[in-house]
Structure 1
Amino acid sequence: MYGKAAICLTFVILFLVSCSIYIGTVDLRSYFFPLLQSPPVLRSLCATGRPLRVYMYDLPRKFHVGMLDRRSSEEAAPVTMENLPPWPSSSGIKRQHSVEYWLMASLLYDGQDEDEREAVRVSDPEKADAFFVPFFSSLSFNTHGHNMTDPETEIDRQLQVELLEFLQQSKDYQRSGGRDHVIPMTHPNAFRFLREQLNASILIVVDFGRYPKTMSSLRKDVVAPYVHVVDSFTDDDPLDPYESRATLLFFRGNTVRKDEGKIRVKLAKILAGSDDVHYEKSVATPKNIKMSTEGMRSSKFCLHPAGDTPSSCRLFDAIVSHCVPVIVSDKIELPYEDEIDYTEFSIFFSMKEALEPGYLVNHLRQFPKSRWVQMWKLLKNISRHYEFQYPPKKEDAVNMLWRQIKHKLPGVQLAVHRSRRLKVPDWWRRKR
């Protein structure tokens, strides 16, 4: 009798657990996945299997590399691995919004084994998992006028109009409603005139600070890191890394920002007078970028308050400088967060905590040296995931982003399949 009762009870428990897993209330990965982590920060769900097959549209040069060199002719040969112009070394702060360039370059490059790549270009759209739209929307904003009254802004608007018309006439775009199309928009003002008309696509953004809640979300979009503008710290190997960095907390940048970025002015007053804190108002010039490079490399912690949007290039400058980021934000989105746990190498403060006099600095002064050294070592290990380079390398920023796109595709396919339920097939119309 007791045996039958035990069997029945076991069956009921298994049935309830199965139902919970099916509807998503129980996630067994949270119990078993820690056993599979190697290294501890990187947790890839789609790192194995064949590369993502990507079809890249062949757009006129004015939509992409033509903006790098306005003297180039639209009749020039198609962009290839051999004739791809390098990203200009004199671009300065524009480099931080160049994700679009590096993604395009990675698809042009064919000199790497497929098992080391997350995405490969295919020439047949029927064989593609995703479609890449090589429009440099961020560079277009930076190149064709920064405000609505600038006459050159009309060029940016016209490019957006032409691109939208091109996509709407594409059978591949029509088939999915654009859902399987990948479009970079990393500048907060990129594609600002017609952005909402491309909302169905997978957008590559740096955060959602300029996007309405009804438009973009982590469900379909990919958060990219800014491309760092300081030089990477490649020979960071002192005997005592903690003591070799004399400054406790470092910040150098513009203190006049919008929205949450207004906290920068308040922090300047709160942190003033601390001998071990360097908080300086600055603008991005080649000389100042070099000084920021030196300052981050000689500091234990680097402050990352919100800018005009929750994220900024400063966070990724800190990572490649192996300076432990101190993130002050209530709603920041971070790249690769389904694979990387930022709490393992960063410290987070709410806006309220950061504005409490003495709270932030006292916490950092009491931070255990051993724990800081662990974070420093981890920064050295994961900084490769924030490197944009050509040719691309395994596990660099470009490959990480393609893998993030791969993560979104099951949900994209689900949305495409559901949308087709409502469409009446042509043969049914003819039959009626």
Structure 2
Amino acid sequence: MLNIPLRLLTKIHGVVRTTQQQQHRESASLVARSPKMYGKKAAIISLFFVIVLVISYSMSIGTVDLRSYFFPLLQSPPGARPLCATIASPLPLRVFMYDLPRRFNVGMLNRRSSDQAPVTAQTWPPWPKNSGLKRQHSVEYWMMGSLLYDGDGREVVRVSDPEMAEAFFVPFFSSLSFNTHGHNMTDPKTRIDHQLQIDLLEFLGESKYWKRYGGRDHVIPMTHPNAFRFLRAELNASIQIVVDFGRHPRTMSNLGKDVVAPYVHVVDSFTDDDLSDPYESRTTLLFFRGRTFRKDEGIVRVKLAKVLAGYDDVHYERSVATGENIKASSLGMRLSKFCLHPAGDTPSSCRLFDAIVSHCVPVIVSDQIELPFEDEIDYSQFSLFFSFKEALEPGYMVEQLRKFPKEKWVEMWRRLKNISHHFEFQYPPNKEDAVDMLWRQVKHKVPGVNLAVHRSRRLKVPDWWKRRR
């Protein structure tokens, strides 16, 4: 039996009684004129009032909210967090960015400058043109710039009130700090990098928003293998932006909370690649230019040099990254059908993304590589994959590439042209570019962060399910 409030029953009774009296008055005149007309009108009127009564009752108990259909502006503001969310929000991710002194970020771009004013969209400094390989680890710079720029239609919006934020961005250029303040662990200049890490942790330790969830909802880019190398363990719980997931120990990083980012490509993008027959215009079958002496999985490069020697249509050259060599690599990729991407010191390297923006079909040789945006992008549609065993078998890889159908290659080439904008880092940022894609990946991690936070508040034995395995 429905538990209807007495006040509501009284109102319903009054409405029904008034309706019945009106029907009786109208029926006296209608019966004399047309019995059939009376029957039809009475049925329609009765049905109408039944519908009104049902809707009124539903609204009173909260099962129907007509405001959401007819008066959307009367709904709760976007900042209000519901206790229970049933569907993913189509709104952009709300991010609060800490206001750190310039020495933690853009001050490293020009250390001669004494300017200490907070950086804005109008004073945002351009990335240095002659930065060499520092550019490939500059994801942190582009992410910070995207939050300063006020544009519509993107995956992220900066909020000034931390209470409204779904995530917190820490604008510390940890990769640039390593590249700027020393290149090895024994360099005396690394003490500057070390001190910046100490100062940052002290700053975060005083933030109630960091302490609230132990940093779980904080986003920190760490795209260089040695970024934040002294105190990285203290940031274990945060959402880390990494370009090569395979290089990090599982105790510090995992795909459940972290985001795999692309390297920032160092070659120029191929913007006028509109030849009528691109397959025939690319005369080199397979191209590689880079360091051949690497550690860990990168030792495969030395072995590949021997396996690929002696082929007229294969270009495999040892090279270091200088301005002239980068230009030569860009030209070589544009004139090649396939670009080789063997593992470096880690499973991935910048070369893959150089190939993508050069529209050169990547040939990926790695057994343990994680790729960015793979929940949205199917790399098999524009890349080829070989295991270490297959790639090191004499003649096998070259034979497979030589007999690869032209029509299928052209199809992959077209797909490269269509998806390459997802790997562009730029300022001002654009919708669906690399930074926009990264923020969408962060947005995907937020529900997992909320899950971890909510479970930690009620569990008496943390992570009890792991102990049963």
Report the TM-score, using the length of structure 1 for normalisation: 0.85
In structure 2, what is the equivalent of residue 90 of structure 1?
A: 130
In structure 2, what is the equivalent of residue 227 of structure 1?
A: 264
User: Contact 1:188 / 1:209 at 8 angstroms: preserved in 2?
Assistant: no
Rounded Cα–Cα distance in structure 1 between residues aligned with 2:423 and 2:319: 24
Rounded Cα–Cα distance in structure 1 between residues aligned with 2:89 and 2:252: 31
User: Contact 1:392 / 1:398 at 8 angstroms: preserved in 2?
Assistant: yes
Larger mean Cα displacement after TM superposition, 246-255 or 189-198: 189-198
Structure 1: any 5+ residue segments left out of the alignment? 1-45, 424-432
Q: Structure 1 vs Structure 2: percent identity of aligned residues?
A: 79
Which residue, out of 111, 117, 121, partners 1:77?
Answer: 117
Rounded Cα–Cα distance in structure 1 between residues aligned with 2:279 and 2:427: 33
Residue identity in the other structure for 2:257: K
In structure 1, what is the equivalent of residue 425 of structure 2?
A: 388
Deviations 1:91-139 (A, max 9, x none): 11110000000000000001x22xx110011000000010000000000
Deviations 1:228-279 (A, max 9, x none): 0000000001111110100000000000111000100100011000000000
Rounded Cα–Cα distance in structure 2 between residues aligned with 1:337 and 1:208: 13
Change (3 A) 1:348 1:402: same
> Structure with the greater relative contact order (CA < 8 A, sep ≥ 6): 1 or 2?
1
Given the alignment of the two structures, is residue 148 of structure 1 paired with residue 181 of structure 2, yes or no? Answer: no
Q: Secondary structure at the match of 1:226?
A: coil
Report the TM-score, using the length of structure 2 for normalisation: 0.79
Deviations 1:177-209 (A, max 9, x none): 100000000011101111111010000001123
Pairs aligned (count): 374
Change (3 A) 1:86 1:209: same
Q: Please state how far the C-alpha of 1:72 moved relative to its aligned partner.
A: 2.2
Runs of 4+ more than 2 Å apart:
none
In structure 2, what is the equivalent of residue 54 of structure 1?
A: 95
Rounded Cα–Cα distance in structure 2 between residues aligned with 1:308 and 1:192: 16
Q: Please state how far the C-alpha of 1:47 moved relative to its aligned partner.
A: 9.8
Q: Please state how far the C-alpha of 1:149 moved relative to its aligned partner.
A: 1.2
Q: Secondary structure at the match of 1:209?
A: helix
Rounded Cα–Cα distance in structure 2 between residues aligned with 1:68 and 1:419: 40
Given the alignment of the two structures, is residue 192 of structure 1 paired with residue 232 of structure 2, yes or no? Answer: no
Residue identity in the other structure for 1:344: Q
Given the alignment of the two structures, is residue 104 of structure 1 paired with residue 141 of structure 2, yes or no? Answer: no
User: Contact 2:93 / 2:166 at 8 angstroms: preserved in 1?
Assistant: yes
In structure 1, what is the equivalent of residue 451 of structure 2?
A: 414
1:205-216 alignment runs, 5 A limit: 205-216=242-253
Given the alignment of the two structures, is residue 313 of structure 1 paired with residue 350 of structure 2, yes or no? Answer: yes
Residue identity in the other structure for 2:329: S
In structure 2, what is the equivalent of residue 325 of structure 1?
A: 362
Rounded Cα–Cα distance in structure 1 between residues aligned with 2:232 and 2:406: 47
Residue identity in the other structure for 1:106: S
Given the alignment of the two structures, is residue 255 of structure 1 paired with residue 296 of structure 2, yes or no? Answer: no
1:273-284 alignment runs, 5 A limit: 273-284=310-321
How large is the RMSD of aligned CA atoms in angstroms?
1.2
Deviations 1:368-408 (A, max 9, x none): 11110110000000000000000001100000000000011
Given the alignment of the two structures, is residue 134 of structure 1 paired with residue 175 of structure 2, yes or no? Answer: no
Rounded Cα–Cα distance in structure 2 between residues aligned with 1:266 and 1:202: 37
Deviations 1:67-94 (A, max 9, x none): 0010222x62101001111110111111
Rounded Cα–Cα distance in structure 2 between residues aligned with 1:169 and 1:77: 22
Q: Secondary structure at the match of 2:168?
A: strand
User: Contact 1:47 / 1:403 at 8 angstroms: preserved in 2?
Assistant: no
Larger radius of gyration: 2
